[in-house]
Amino acid sequence: MPARRFIKNDPEELAAYIKSLASGLVVFDGRSGAGKTPLATDMAKRLGCKCADADRCFLDHQRGMFVGALRVEEMQSSLNASLAISPLVMFSTVCARQAVEMAKLSAAAFIWVEHASLVRLDSAEGQFDDYDDDAAPPSIHVVQTRSKPTSQPTMRDAGSIKSST
C-alpha cells in the first residue's frame, strides 16, 4: 500500500499517486471552499476517469446540508455503476468519510484538501504528522496555497457520472 503523503501545490505528484492506485474510489474531503471539487475534476481530466461531486449530484437541498441531505442510495448506485466501467472514480464532498460509510462503499484513498495561506502551511503539515500511521486506506493531505479559481468547471466537463447537475 502506498505510504501517506503530504503534498504542497503539486498536482502532478497527486496525479501520479492516484494513478499508482490503479483502481478504486478516490475520495476528496475537506471544508467548504477548500477546493475539493476543482481538484477532483482536475485529477479526473488528467487521468481520464469519472468524477462526481456529492454536493451537486446527490444532495437534496430541501433536507438540509451535508450527509443528512444526501440521497445515499442514488449515490451508492451511481458510484458503483461508474466503478464498473472506470477503474478510478474521483468523488468529492464535505464529510466524505461519513458519506462513504453511509453508502457502504470502500475507498482506495482519502484525500484531505485544504486551502491554506502560507502562514498556515507549516501548521497544517505539523497536524498531518500527528495522524495515525496505521490508518487504512491511506490518507493524503493536499494543501493548495495558490488562489482559488474564479469559476469552478462543471462536472460534465470532468466526465461526471451524472448526466445532469
Which one, of 69, 47, 50, lies nearest residue 58 by Cα? 69
Per-residue confidence (pLDDT) for residue 39, from 0 to 100: 92
Q: What are the strands, taking DSSP E only, across 32-75?
A: 50-53
Q: Helix, strand, coil proportions of the chain in percent (round to 5)?
A: 45, 20, 35
HSE on the CB side for 59, CA within 13 Å?
17
Per-residue confidence (pLDDT) for residue 160, from 0 to 100: 29
% of the chain beyond a pLDDT of 70: 67
The stretch 66-92 carries a mean pLDDT of 92
> Which grid coordinates belong to 40?
477532483
Residue 82: pLDDT above 80?
yes
Per-residue confidence (pLDDT) for residue 116, from 0 to 100: 59
User: Per-residue pLDDT tens for 36-61?
Assistant: 999 999 999 999 999 999 988 888 87
* Mean pLDDT of the chain, nearest integer: 75
Residue 128: pLDDT above 60?
no
More confident residue, 95 or 136: 95
Q: Which residues pair with 141 in a beta bridge?
A: 6, 112
Please tell me the least confidently modeled range out of 52-56, 69-73, 113-117. 113-117
> Which grid coordinates belong to 135?
490508518
**Contact 78/57 with Cβ under 8 angstroms?**
yes
> Which grid coordinates belong to 53?
461531486
pTM given for the model: 0.73
The stretch 66-91 carries a mean pLDDT of 92
5-154, which class in CATH?
Answer: alpha beta
Cα distance between residue 25 and residue 10, in whole Å: 21
